[in-house]
Every structure is written in C-alpha cells, then in structure tokens.
Amino acid sequence: MVDVSKLARARMAQAPVAGPHPDADLLTAFRERSLAAGEREQVLAHLATCADCREIVALASPDQTEEVEALAPGTAKPRGLPWPVLRWGAVATAVAVVAVAVIIEAPKRTAENAAARQAAAAGNEDKAFASAGKKVAQPSSATEQPASSDSRARADAAPKQAEVAKLEASRKEEQEKKQNGARDEDRALASAAAAPPSVQFRQDRAAEADRSTAGKATAGGAGANAQFAGRTTGLAKAKDDKNSVVLAEAPREAQAPAKPAPTPAPEVSAEGYTMARSAPAAAPARAKTSSGSLSAYGPGYAGEAAASSAPVTMDAMHAQLKPATLRWTVTSDGRVQRSPDGRVWTDVPVAKHVKFRALVANGNEVWAGGARGALYYSANAGGSWRPQPVAEVNGDIIRLNVSGQMLIISTSSGQTIEISHEVFGDQPAKPPSSR
Amino acid sequence: MSTGAKPVRPSTPPAGVAGHWLERLFGELWLESHAADYGLPQLEFLRILAEVGAKYLPAEAAPGDATALYRSLRVEELALARACAAGHERAWEVFLGRFREKLFDAGRAIARDEATGRELADSLYADLYGTELRDGERRSKLLFYMGRGSLEGWLRTVLAQEYINRYRSHKKLVSLEEEGEEGVQFAATAREEPIAVDPRLEAAVDAALAALPAEDRYVLASYFLDQRTLAEVARTLGVHESTISRKLGKLTAQLRKHVLDALVKRGMSRRQAEEALAADVRDLQVNIRARLAQDSAAAPFSEKER
C-alpha cells in the first residue's frame, strides 16, 4: 500500500473538528446508509476530522460474523468447509466425473460409430444388420477401433453368431405381427412380464434414442448376452424404425432361455417396468443410479419420470439445501434472512406487510412469527411458506422455541402457547395448552 | 446537524411543513407504527414526530424534504422506544424479547470480552430504564432515540459511546502501582521531533486535503490515523474492502500529485517540489521504524490524547 506523507498525516490529525458531534441517531443512520445526501456529507466531513466519532462508528459497526443465528434447537453450530473450498471441490468432482465418463464411453462410441458408418455404407438395412452382426462376431475386422472394453465385448459376442440368426428370425416374426396389427395394450402388458424391453420399445417409437440407451443400460448389467444385445441395439440406432424394432428384440432373445427363472438381464427391466406402473415415486432413486437411462424402464416410466423431473421447482431446490448448514435470522426491521455460511445473508420472502420478530428452525422445518400473532411455517427450509393461524393469540409473537414435538410460542402479551408439530398440516393450529 | 446533547421537545409542529398533507402523513405513520399496541396515544405520537422534525429539519425545509425525512423514520421502533421510556409494560416485554440478546452480543463484540460486555450491556439497561431522576421524573435514555436508524443500530452506537467513556474514565483512574507494574512509570514521554517544514509544503498539503471529498478524507483518516484495517473501514461505509484498497491507492497518488502541483504554483521548481516530498517520506520511514520499536502495546486510542 502506498503511504501518504507524514506531513499529510500530521495535517489531518491537526485539522479542527468540523461541526458539532452528530448524535447516536445520525451515526446509526450514517452506518445504515439511511441519511439524505446532504446529511451524509455533513456527517462524513465531521468524521474525517473527529477521531472520537470515527471510533464510535467503527465499534458500533456490526461484524457480520456476529449475526445472531437461529439454528435448529439441539444442533451444534455448523462449521463445515468454507464456501470457496466447497465450490472448487464441486468443480474438481464434476471434472473428474466427466473425465471418467469420457474414458469409459469414448471407446464404445467409437466402435458404434464405425459400425454405423459401415452399415450406412451398405445401403440396406438387412445388410447393415448382418454387417453389424459380423462385425461383432469378428473382432479382428480392420474397421473396428482398438479398445479394451469393446474388444472384450466382441470376444464375448463371438460365440453368439447363432443368436444373431435367431434375432433375424424373430425380426421377421415381429414384422408379421406388425402387419397383423397385433398390438393391443393388454397383450403388450401381458407379455411385458416375460419380455419387457421389447414391449417397451414397441410401445413408443418416438423414444428411439432413449431406447438404444436403454438397450445399452440393460446390456451393461446383464452379462455377455445382454451386452451383445445392447451393442446390436446401439448399431441399430443409426437405422430406421424397423431395425430398431428388430434389434429391440435382442434382450428378449437373451432372456428367452431363462424364462421360468428370470436371468439378471430381464430382472432389471422387469423391475423397472413394475416401478413405472406401480411406484413412480421411486423414480428419482432409480434415475440417479443409472443416469441417462431413464427410458430403460419403458416409455411409461420414462414419460412419468420426465414429467416429474422436467420442472425443477424452487421447492425442490430448497429441499436440497442442507438444513443443518443453514443459518437463520430476523433483522431488526422484521425481515427473515437465511445464510448458508454466515457471511452472505439473503432475504427470504415469507409474507408481505408482516414484520417478523421471532424464528426457529428444526431441520427443514422453519417457523417465523411476528406482529399480531402472525405465524408462518415452511416445511422445506424456506422454499415455500404458509400461514398458520393460531387461535387465541394476543399481541405479537416475540419468541419461538421447539421442544421435542412441541412448538412453544411466546407473545408480547405474556402468553405462552404450546402447539404440537403434528398440527402443522392443513388445518389451522389450535393451542392445546395456553398459560 | 444537531448536537444531540438533549432531547428537543418543541410544542409546535416543524416550521414550514405544516398543513393538511402533514396531518395525513402523520396519520399514516401513526398506523404504521402500531403505537396503539403500546398504549401510546396518537396525540403523543404526533408530538414525537414533530419533535423529530424540529430536530432534523431546517426551518426552511421544503415539503418534499420533510416527507422524505418522516418517511425514512423507523416509526414502529420509535413508538416502541418511546413507549418503553414511558414505562409501558408490554412495550418492555417486546423490547426485551427483541433486543436483550442482541444487546449482550453487541456488548461482547464491542468490549471483546464476555464479562466486560455483559457489564456494559447491563449498565445500558439501567440507563434505558431510567434510573436517573430529573425533576422527580424518571428519565430513560430511550427518549433520545429519534428513529433515524434502526433501534438495534442505535443501541450499538450508544453501547460504543458508553464503552469509550468507560475506557477513558478507567484510564484516568489507573493507579501509580499499576503503572509501575506495567513499567511505564518512568517511561520517557514520547515526543514527536519537530520537523522544520517549509510553510509552502504545509499549505500545499492542506489545500490538497481540503480539495478531497469528505468521504475520501474519512477513508484516509480511518486508515492512516486510526490504523483501521481495510475491512473495518469498508464495513463502516458499507462497501467491499477491495473498493477501499483501490480508493486508498488512488487517493495517495492523487494527493501527491496535487501537492506537487500546488508547490509548483507556489514558486518551487518541479525538482524542488519532488525533493521536498521525498525528504518528507524519508522522515516518515524513520518515524515508522521508531514507532514500531516503541509500540509494543498498541493503545486503542492512540490518536486521542484528550
């Protein structure tokens, strides 16, 4: 830092104090930047020459780290990693994940692209299919890219040439079925238990891209047969619907020998199908375990999952905030604020025209009370709030506490009201005990 | 700007701002303040507003200025404070519920010591309640609150004032034994060596400082005279410390340039002017070394020998 000259310091120190000392109100308003421009200039001119007032202003300036925190009762003061560490940690993790994904996926994609190019060159879908099958069956082909996982897949697929022939036969059978119009929903559902992937694939032609991914996902967890099927499905991606339908039969083909006792490959699909029909709420967990392969559970599931995951609501985002790391406070002018790290505080919009005086948090649950008995409740760490009218409250709510399952409300009129947590449902809260 | 030594209690509305618009405005503020909740009559509240106006508005204030002032008031907290001063029980309950812990926190933060901070806050509570009797009447310190800033901020400011006053009074009462123990009993008085300064240089520095805006002078004084950190200065102005850092760099360069220009105007050559400043800087460096050697215990109020 460049220093000013000693003389300048001396002259500043010797300068006469400008004007009378501002009172505590003006110094406070100056600190809070609520003075008019003219007044602020006057106060600053005085402060520039008065060490006493500068001392007062400096001492009275609140340190942000000393903000009063309304933490969840019974929880220790959260002292996690500082925000910069978390931020860079997240970036590093993301980069590592992407790098791993690229390392794993790149050889597969290269091989698939090469096969697809070759299939396209053949000009005929059957030829393309046959060519692809041959490619898979003959790993030493010059057009194949050398890649460890791919060569392993090819090695696994080599003994499956007979199955390719079976596939072709089943394709023809499928085409016949198509021509006969045998595609009613009940039949599809009935056959789904036996061969869910093929049913799923047949049900929604529009999700072809997802289907190929689904095929890969199924194959990835199902050993050599499924891997082969997934690979052929991937090859078909470059082709038209017919091919995709035909190749979609691959999992069923792979599953066929194990019909009485399901093999691991169809288990995944069958389970996914069941989930899609009976428990769509479990979708997020499934989606996390197999990223990018939601449609592996069939169009029904994919559709529902897409519908449930498409709108990323604020509620969902707030729910993701870790309540243990959140700090809450009520400002002196009645605003509710929240901070993830105790440094940066942001206003949380609760209700207009209500001045809040008390706040308590218990995990994701937050209660804010204020003027005229106003009580608001959030179940998702402040993401959304709803009023909770409490009967027989007189005056302002000035203190809130959580004790066990009870919310304890203290009011300015001296009331102490205890409310069970459970009543924070749809109905207005009634005080079970008031003293 | 008012001295603020005593609460002003004018019995008439502020000059130049009377009229029906003012009545309407006062009516709105009355509703906003919820003063009725604290048992504060409307007439009394209007009298308080008039008191604030008389204190902060010049006699020739325009209606717009008056409106801006009244609108900027923290009327709810003003009503609360005045109701507490009047001894309203419910107002005290609200006050304690809202500020009790904050006041202790502020006391601790200011004194940087748990016991002293609590003692400071307790003593302020006594003052706020009004232990002092004047004309047989209890006088609460809350009567001085005018609602210009937040009540919490005002309480912090009053605590800071109280802390400084206490520190000074304690400092005056240090016994000779204590001084002896601290080893300062026979310490030679630190005296600034008189420097023969060219009066033209003094005048040039004065002119350069006077030409600076008040905020810049405040920043310079806080940083160089009070030895405050960038973060502390920034916090008082509500800006980021990097802003203060940049400002200081710019100001010192600007100051030097202005002093040089002023010296040239006063008849020095450019070289002479630079030599004058360079000599000054050398003095400063020597002085800093000397100060670092003797300032083993930094005095909080080093620049305030009053």
State chain A's mean pLDDT as an integer: 61
B195 contacts in chain A (CB < 8 Å): 6-7
Bridge partners for A420 per DSSP: A406
* Same-domain check for residues B232 and B152: no
pLDDT average, residue stretch A372-389: 86
* Same-domain check for residues B144 and B38: yes
* Same-domain check for residues B95 and B219: no
Most confident listed range (A286-295, B101-110, B169-178, B289-298): B101-110
pLDDT average, residue stretch A157-162: 51
B3 contacts in chain A (CB < 8 Å): 20-21, 23
* Same-domain check for residues B154 and B209: no
Task: Say if the Cβ atoms of B232 and A61 lie within 8 Å.
Answer: yes
Round to whole Å and give the CA distance between B52 and B148.
Answer: 9
pLDDT at A309: 40
Helix A264-278 to helix A208-220 angle (10° resolution) is 130
User: The domain spanning residue B264 has which CATH number?
Assistant: 1.10.10.10
Q: Is residue B184 part of a domain?
A: no
Q: Residues 218 to 257 of B: which have CB under 8 A from any A CB?
A: 218, 220-222, 224-226, 228, 232, 235-236, 238, 245, 248-249, 251-253, 255-256
Query: How far away is chain B from the Cα of A304, in angstroms, using its nearest Cα?
Result: 48
Residue B280 near residue B201, CB atoms below 8 Å: yes
* Same-domain check for residues B51 and B162: yes
Which chain B residue's Cα is nearest to A396?
B94
Q: Is residue B186 part of a domain?
A: no
Residue A408 has pLDDT above 90, yes or no: no
Helix (H) and strand (E) counts for chain A? 17, 11
pLDDT average, residue stretch B173-183: 55
Task: Say if the Cβ atoms of A63 and B148 lie within 8 Å.
Answer: no
pLDDT-derived band at A80 (thresholds 50, 70, 90) equals low
Strand locations in A105-188 (E): none
Total tally of structural domains belonging to chain B = 2
Please name the amino acid found at residue A137.
Answer: A
Point out the domain boundary residue: B149, B167, B185: B167
Q: Which domain holds residue B57?
A: 20-167
pLDDT average, residue stretch A2-18: 70
Answer with the residue of higher pLDDT: B131 or B253: B253
Least confident of B40-44, B84-88, B173-177, B291-295: B291-295
- The number of C-alpha atoms within 13 Å of B169 and in the hemisphere containing its C-beta is 6
pLDDT at B76: 92
Pairing of strands B133-134, A346-347: unpaired
pLDDT-derived band at A180 (thresholds 50, 70, 90) equals low
pLDDT at A424: 67
Q: Residues 17 to 46 of A: which have CB under 8 A from any B CB?
A: 19-36, 39, 41-46
* Same-domain check for residues B55 and B149: yes
Round to whole Å and give the CA distance between A152 and A111.
Answer: 12
* Same-domain check for residues B240 and B161: no
A409 contacts in chain B (CB < 8 Å): none
With tokens 């006041």, the residue in question is: B103
Please name the amino acid found at residue A65.
Answer: T
The pair of three-digit structure tokens given for residue A147, joined into one six-digit string: 């890649």
Q: Is residue B9 part of a domain?
A: no
Q: Residues 65 to 124 of B: which have CB under 8 A from any A CB?
A: 65, 68-69, 72, 74, 76-77, 90, 93-94, 97-98, 101-102, 105-106, 109-110
* Same-domain check for residues B42 and B142: yes
* Same-domain check for residues B146 and B210: no
Answer with the residue of higher pLDDT: A97 or B288: A97
Domains, in order of start, for chain A? 6-61 (no CATH), 90-309 (no CATH), 317-434 (2.40.128.630)
Answer with the residue of higher pLDDT: B165 or B169: B165
* Same-domain check for residues B56 and B146: yes
Residue B280 has pLDDT above 50, yes or no: yes
- B266 exposure class (CB count in 10 Å sphere: 0-12, 13-18, 19+): middle
pLDDT at A425: 56
Round to whole Å and give the CA distance between B21 and A329.
Answer: 37
Q: Is residue B207 part of a domain?
A: yes
Q: How many CB atoms lie within 10 A of CB B91?
A: 24
Which chain A residue's Cα is nearest to B78?
A25
Residue A84 near residue B118, CB atoms below 8 Å: no
- Residue percentage of chain A with pLDDT more than 90: 5
Q: Is residue B159 part of a domain?
A: yes
Q: Angle at Cα A112 formed by Cα A108 and Cα A115, nearest 5°?
A: 145
* Same-domain check for residues B32 and B144: yes
pLDDT at A401: 84
Q: Is residue B122 part of a domain?
A: yes
pLDDT-derived band at B156 (thresholds 50, 70, 90) equals very high
pLDDT at B297: 39
pLDDT average, residue stretch B214-221: 90
Give the phi and the psi of residue B227 in degrees, each rounded to 5: 60, 35
Q: Is residue B127 part of a domain?
A: yes
Q: Angle at Cα A250 formed by Cα A247 and Cα A256, nearest 5°?
A: 150
Task: Say if the Cβ atoms of A58 and B224 lie within 8 Å.
Answer: no
Q: Is residue B60 part of a domain?
A: yes
pLDDT-derived band at B182 (thresholds 50, 70, 90) equals low
* Same-domain check for residues B26 and B160: yes
pLDDT at B146: 93
